[in-house]
Amino acid sequence: MATKDLIMMIDKPHFTVKLHQNLLEVDLKKGIKKKLEDFVEATPTLRGSLGFLFQNVIPLDVPLKDIESVEMDEKGQVKIVIPNRRDINIPLEPPESQKLIDKLNELIPLEKKREMDRILASAPEASRRAIEIDEEKARAISESRHERWKGGGPV
């Protein structure tokens, strides 16, 4: 992820939290988990297929559009709820937590709207292409029937 869209960064001794316009990164700094995280993030197919298993061991980057809610727990830490995934708990100090939560609550609705607009914008294109495919099929069937008719075969 490019740092040009970096909105907020919180640096802790064992991890770094980076908030981008459309992505939340929680990156470990050292150890075997860091090496595993680097490997998984560098291999998109592995991340896609085994990401669900690795989320229990290492934090993975989360698109903001996938976040259901963000809240502060009783210890003042950030709890991020993501459907179909394990919740992410980020151990920050209460003031840092509140700052991150406020910014996430500002960005998440914008990113969800952007994603919905993207889906809706691509829907007419998909519909148009589906119509073109149906027309091509109908033309091919018609031509095939015409060829069989000219040849005297069954229509």
**Given a cut of 90, is residue 43 above it in pLDDT?**
no
Whether residue 146 is contained in a domain is answered as no
What pLDDT is stored for residue 99 in this prediction? Answer: 96
**Residue 126, helix vs strand vs coil:** helix
Residue 41 belongs to what domain range? Answer: 3-112
Residues near 140 by Cβ (< 8 Å), separated by ≥ 6?
A: none
Task: Name residue 42's amino acid.
Answer: A
pLDDT tens per residue, range 103-153: 999 999 999 999 988 877 777 777 777 778 888 887 777 777 666 666 655
Count up the domains in the chain and report the number: 1
Residue 47 included in any domain: yes
Q: Identify whether 130 is part of a domain.
A: no
Quick count: other Cβ atoms within 10 Å of Cβ 130? 10
Domain of 17, CATH number, reads: 2.30.29.30
Residue 48 CA to residue 33 CA, distance in Å, equals 18
Within-domain flag for 129: no
pTM, 2 dp: 0.65
Domain annotation covers residue 118:
no
52, part of any domain: yes
Q: Identify whether 117 is part of a domain.
A: no
48 SS3 class: helix
Reported confidence tier of residue 1, pLDDT bands at 50, 70, 90: very low
pLDDT at 45 over 80: no
Any domain includes 125:
no
| Residue 140 or residue 57, greater confidence | 140
pLDDT in tens, 3-16: 568 999 999 988 89
What pLDDT shows up at residue 139?
Answer: 78
